[in-house]
Amino acid sequence: MNNDKKLVVELENVTLKYAQSTSFNLKRFFLSKHERKRVVSNSNASREDALSDVSIKFYEGDIVGIVGRNGAGKSTICKVLSGVLEPTTGKFHSNLGIGALLSLKSFFTKELSGLDNIYLIGALLGKNKKEIEDKIEDIIDFSELGDSIHKPTETYSSGMVSRLAFSIATSYRSDILIIDEVLSVGDKYFKEKCNTRMKSIMKESKLIIIVSHSDSDIKNMCNRAIYLDKGQVIMDGSVDEVMNKYK
Ligand SMILES: Nc1ncnc2c1ncn2[C@@H]1O[C@H](COP(=O)(O)OP(=O)(O)OP(=O)(O)O)[C@@H](O)[C@H]1O
C-alpha cells in the first residue's frame, strides 16, 4: 500500500500500558518530560493495554482519521505520535519534527488564564518567548475570546476552550499536526472558520491526524482512516471502507 509515497512516521508493534489511573495535564507533562516512563508502566502483566501491538505506517501527505468507541486508544495513539508518551514496548520512528498535538483533554491548566496557557503551550511546543509573543495577537484574535483571555480557563465554556486550543495549535506550523477531538465542539460559525484555516494548514503540513466522533469531519477531511478498538487496529484503509465497518 502507498508504495509511491514517502514513509514519514511509523509505529512498530507498539504496546502502551498506563502506570496508574490519573488525569493528564500540562504540568504533569513538564514534570515527566525527561522521564516519560513515569506515566507509563514497564510491567508486562498487571493492566489492560491502552494500545496493544499496534503497527501503522504514515506517509507524507496523509490526512488520517482515527475512529473508535470511547476508550479505544485514540488519544493514547495521538500522545505517542506527538512524542508525549513513549511506548511501553515496540518502536515509534519519525522523520518529522515534533508534532503539534491539539487536544482538549490534555494540555489546558485550568486554574491559569487563557493567556498563561498560551505561554505554557507555546513552551511545550518548543517555542521561545519571542516566538510565542509574535503569535499572541493572532491567537487571541482568532479565538475571539476578547477580555476573557485574562480569566482562568476553568471558567470557560467547552466552546471557548475549543476555540483557544484550536487557535494556539494552528498558529504554529509543524510538519505533523494532530487534532484530537477539537473539531466537534464550537458553534457552526466557528467550525466554518476552523475549516478554512485547516485547509491552508493542510497544504503546509506533511502529516495530519484527526480524531473525531463525527462521520462528516472524517469524510470531508481525510484520505485514509484507521478504526481502533480496545487498543488494536481493526481496520486501516480508505475512508469509505473504514467508516462502513465502523458503523
Ligand atoms: N492517564 C491514564 N491513566 C490510566 N489509564 C488511562 C489514562 N488515559 C487513558 N487511559 C485508559 O487507556 C484506554 C484508552 O484511552 P484513550 O483516552 O486513549 O481512549 P479514546 O479512544 O481516546 O477514548 P474517548 O473516545 O473516550 O476519548 C482506556 O481504557 C482509558 O481508560
Q: Are residues 116 and 173 in the same domain?
A: yes
Residue 243 pLDDT > 60:
yes
H/E segment holding residue 188: helix 188-204
Average predicted confidence (pLDDT) for the chain: 84
For residues 200-231, one letter each, b for 16 or more C-beta atoms within 10 angstroms of the residue's C-beta and e for the rest, the string is: ebeeebbbbbbbbebeebbeebbebbbbbeeb
Q: Are residues 91 and 9 in the same domain?
A: yes
Helices first, then strands: H and E counts in the chain: 8, 9
Number of domains in the chain: 2
Q: Are residues 182 and 140 in the same domain?
A: yes
Q: Are residues 24 and 104 in the same domain?
A: no
Write the residue with the smallest CA distance to atom 18 of ligand 1.
Answer: 73
Q: Are residues 43 and 121 in the same domain?
A: no
Q: Are residues 57 and 70 in the same domain?
A: yes
> Which range marks the domain in which residue 133 is found?
97-205
Q: Are residues 91 and 145 in the same domain?
A: no
Q: Are residues 79 and 121 in the same domain?
A: no
Q: Which of 16, 75, 101, 228 to mutate to test the pocket of ligand 1 (most atoms within 8 A of CB)?
A: 75
ipTM of the complex model: 0.97
- What does the alpha-carbon distance between residue 238 and residue 138 come to, in Å, rounded to a whole number? 36
- What does the alpha-carbon distance between residue 111 and residue 101 come to, in Å, rounded to a whole number? 21
Q: Are residues 56 and 88 in the same domain?
A: yes
Tell me, what CATH number does 183's domain have?
3.40.50.300
Q: Answer yes or no: is 161 within a domain.
A: yes
- pLDDT per residue over 160-190, tens digit each? 888 898 888 788 877 888 888 766 666 888 8
H/E segment holding residue 66: strand 63-67
- What does the alpha-carbon distance between residue 92 and residue 222 come to, in Å, rounded to a whole number? 22
Q: Give first-to-last CA distance, the chain, whole Å.
A: 24
Q: Are residues 132 and 201 in the same domain?
A: yes
Residues with CB under 6 A from ligand 1: 18, 21-22, 24, 50, 68, 70-76
Write the residue with the smallest CA distance to atom 12 of ligand 1.
Answer: 50
Q: Answer yes or no: is 212 within a domain.
A: no
* Of 203 and 18, the one with more pLDDT: 18
So what's the pLDDT on residue 116? 96
Q: Are residues 168 and 153 in the same domain?
A: yes
| Beta-bridge partners for 56 | 11
Q: Answer yes or no: is 210 within a domain.
A: no
Q: Answer yes or no: is 211 within a domain.
A: no
Among 106, 51, 86, residue whose Cα is nearest residue 228: 51
- pLDDT per residue over 111-144, tens digit each? 999 999 999 888 877 789 999 999 999 999 999 9
Q: Are residues 175 and 197 in the same domain?
A: yes
* Atom nearest to 73 CA in ligand 1: 18
How remote is the CA of residue 232 from the centroid of ligand 1, in Å?
13
Q: Answer yes or no: is 154 within a domain.
A: yes
